[in-house]
Structure 1
């Protein structure tokens, strides 16, 4: 299971499929990275690197009682992007995943 550990010790799960320009998906409440499976598969099959993470408190990421706000979610997404050393990424968000 692929995870990144944030500054506050939260484990953030992510999926990373394909190669090419990265497209990063951020789900809405109360979903998980699974919500993007169809889009990820399509993009991975068409020359893109598709990445989706489970926001803290969702899916396979740590269930936390802190930083469950837009700033915390943004910090977590930045941790995933930094961990994967993504450049020129396209960000796609839905609901609270779009901030």
Structure 2
């Protein structure tokens, strides 16, 4: 995946669900970054990585990684499902036209 596409997805998900926004805790320490949360979700989904393995690489707990994955999936469906519907209709029409030309 290109960096540009990844950052586009990160920005869209962050705008859709403020769970992915980095916040301070009660002691004033910064919490997990947007990139940490979304990278954890990507690694679980793309590589079939167990949630507890994200702790070693991304420094995120397994329950948080699971929550990130759930919220990420919901956000992606909400944000991009309408785009996918339009794109698939366009692809079907394009294929149909190419088929008729032959």
Instruction: Tell me, yes or no, whether TM beats 0.5.
Output: no
Structure with greater proportional strand content: 1
Q: Quick check: which has more Rg, 1 or 2?
A: 2
Which structure is higher in RCO with an 8 Å CA cutoff and minimum separation 6? Answer: 1
TM-score by length of 2: 0.27
